[in-house]
């Protein structure tokens, strides 16, 4: 049997980092993933990761961050107060790849052009020279 899932999407909110009673880090977040053929429809998929990966996700991503996750789908169930049985589904992440960076102190993803140099015009070079400036 095979249970493997790969998703690319954006975090709906800042990830939630907590620790179990024995000190293991666990991070939960919801990923917004556009559907393949109808990009106007979006699925919201719960994800969980553990230990060092959990701490990295909590420290380096935030609401709106673009990530790729690889893991397996796990199911669970619970009973509501009125006695109805509900099923849960989440991706247990083995790997999370950060596809953009979190700005310093902000959750908004960094613009891809922020680190490029300043713009210059060719007229700023020596005019009247027959030499090619490069």
CA angle, 8 as apex, 107 and 47 as ends, to 5°? Answer: 75
Distance CA 46, CA 76 (A): 12
Q: Tokens representing 125?
A: 């070079």
Distance CA 85, CA 53 (A): 32
How confident is the prediction along the chain (134 residues), in pLDDT tens digits per residue?
899 999 999 999 999 999 999 999 999 999 999 988 877 889 999 999 999 999 999 999 999 999 999 999 999 999 999 999 999 999 999 999 999 865 555 444 445 545 555 555 555 555 555 666 55
Distance CA 61, CA 130 (A): 51
């Amino acid at each position: 049997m095979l249970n493997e899932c790969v998703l690319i999407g954006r975090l709906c909110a800042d990830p939630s980092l907590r620790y179990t009673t024995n000190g293991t880090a666990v991070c939960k977040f919801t990923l917004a993933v556009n559907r393949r053929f109808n990009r106007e429809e979006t699925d919201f998929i719960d994800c969980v990761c553990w230990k060092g990966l959990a701490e990295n996700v909590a420290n380096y991503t935030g609401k709106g961050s673009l990530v790729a996750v690889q893991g397996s789908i796990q199911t669970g169930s619970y009973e509501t107060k009125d006695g109805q049985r509900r099923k849960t589904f989440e991706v247990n992440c083995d790997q999370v790849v950060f596809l953009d960076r979190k700005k310093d102190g902000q959750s908004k993803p960094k613009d891809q052009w922020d680190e490029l140099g300043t713009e210059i015009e060719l007229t700023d070079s020596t005019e009247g020279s027959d030499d090619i400036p490069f």
